[in-house]
Amino acid sequence: MTTTSTTALDPQRVQRRTVFLLSSAQLLSGVGNGATLSIGSLLAVDLSGSEAWAGSITTVLTLAAAIAALPLARLAETRGRRIGLVTGLVAAMVGALLVIASVVGQSFVLLLLGAAFLGLGTAANLQARFAAVDLAEPEHRGRSLSTVVWAITIGAVAGPNLIQPGAVVGEALGLPPIAGPFVFSAAGLFLAALLLFAGLRPDPLLLSRRLASQARRDAGDDALPVRGTIRSGLRAVRSSRLAMLALAAVVAAHGVMVAIMSMTPLHLQQLVGGSHAGHHGGTTDSADALVIIGLTISLHIAGMFALSPLWGWLTDKAGRLQTIAMGHGLLLVAVLIAGFGQHEPGLVTAGLIFLGLGWSAATIAGSTLLAESVAPDARVTVQGVSDTLMGGAGAIGGATSGLLLAWIGYQGLNVTSGIVAALVLALTLLLTVRTAGASTPQALQPPA
């Protein structure tokens, strides 16, 4: 693209179109995540034959997302957001097809492989929120980011409730009923990838760089921007207290959320089955459990995404640190309700709703703060580092949650997770007090 054509573009018009396209793709791809989260642990137990593997799907999915985050960030660095996002979504579509094949072939190994490929879609969905702020004005970054996060609500909430419709589709296609929801997942991921591949032009990241380069030339600065490396990205985070806190906030919130969420379906299955023992047969118990699990995970995911615009507005208006504190405060409320109400399905469901709300607030405010607390040339790499550490925390949470559930029970798992949230909340409040004296903290302003 020439300088003239770059100048002729209206960046804010491109920004509005970009947010619309990213939001549409998030809506379509959310079905895949919803289906995996709701029945992944049940499939793992069924195909492996052991409850010890209940958290394996969440672990593999989040670990794959962590491993893929930096390669996808480097791909975006060199080829633009469009290619990076489409690559992750196509890989996730392959993952959904592999999950279907695992059910047909009764192969636990194929199930794990499918979860790994679905993890690439999770990494792409995470990076889509950063693509929303490439061209955003500083005062609207929280709003743009939260709009894209919110868009996943419909698909993600629908996913857990596609178990019964999916069974019908699966039977119509000659597939086992439990494989049916992943037919919807594969279709949604394909449409999301196609939409971004065809429509995300001009690329928001590449356009923002061209505009920045042109501004430097107009100012008489002919120096080439320094491309970020992993080492420079980590160095950029360490150079800013606010960036370090932002990174800690999103990583801790994700680890806590995954640890509790991944074990809740198994806890509810045992709880509901036990409460109906002697009243119904095993088939009825299983159906009751699936209904409650589907509803609980749907409401949890609604908590994660439905109020994203509110958190984006608060991030822009109330402040980044204040909204992070709200998020981790809500996480504490969540673990207290779910943990101490572990014998009541209604209280567990309420806890999962607050868990989603806390994750949403901390992730939106933390991601916004992180994006603007480092130099522009380091942002893409820092964002990749953030997603890698988020995925790593989720993988650790998923891997250890099953062990904690076996050792100290569902309440103990919640209390342990609450300690992590409380530590981040304390650090956030401390930094908020320290920066309260400055009307405009330097690190809160976007670097030039």
pLDDT average, residue stretch 316-327? 95
Does residue 109 lie in a domain region?
yes
Does residue 2 lie in a domain region?
no
Top-confidence residue, 50 or 146: 146
Does residue 311 lie in a domain region?
yes
pLDDT at 335: 96
Residue type for position 378: A
For residue 7, pLDDT beyond 70: no
Residues above pLDDT 90, as percent of the chain: 40
Does residue 445 lie in a domain region?
no
Does residue 396 lie in a domain region?
yes
Neighbours of 223 (CB within 10 A): 6
The token pair at 433 is 């007090």
pLDDT band at 216 (very low <50, low <70, confident <90, very high): low
φ/ψ of 445, rounded to 5, equals: -90, 140
- Segment 279-290, tens digit of pLDDT: 444 445 566 777
For residue 254, pLDDT beyond 80: yes
- Segment 156-208, tens digit of pLDDT: 666 666 667 777 887 888 888 778 788 888 988 999 999 999 999 999 999 98
The structure's pTM equals 0.77
pLDDT band at 38 (very low <50, low <70, confident <90, very high): low
pLDDT at 325: 97
- Segment 287-320, tens digit of pLDDT: 677 778 878 887 898 888 888 999 999 999 999 9
Closest CA to 252 of 139, 386, 87: 386
Does residue 412 lie in a domain region?
yes
Distances (CA, A) of 334 to 160, 180, 260, 301, 349: 21, 32, 10, 14, 10
For residues 141 and 126, what is the distance between their CA atoms, to the nearest angstrom?
A: 16
pLDDT at 1: 42
For residue 445, pLDDT beyond 50: no
pLDDT at 287: 66
Does residue 224 lie in a domain region?
no
Does residue 225 lie in a domain region?
no
pLDDT at 92: 94
Q: How many domains does the chain have?
A: 1
Range of the domain at 268: 9-218+231-435
pLDDT average, residue stretch 264-284? 64
Closest CA to 38 of 299, 305, 258, 265: 265
pLDDT band at 326 (very low <50, low <70, confident <90, very high): very high
Question: In CATH, what number is assigned to the domain containing residue 92?
Answer: 1.20.1250.20
For residue 42, pLDDT beyond 70: yes
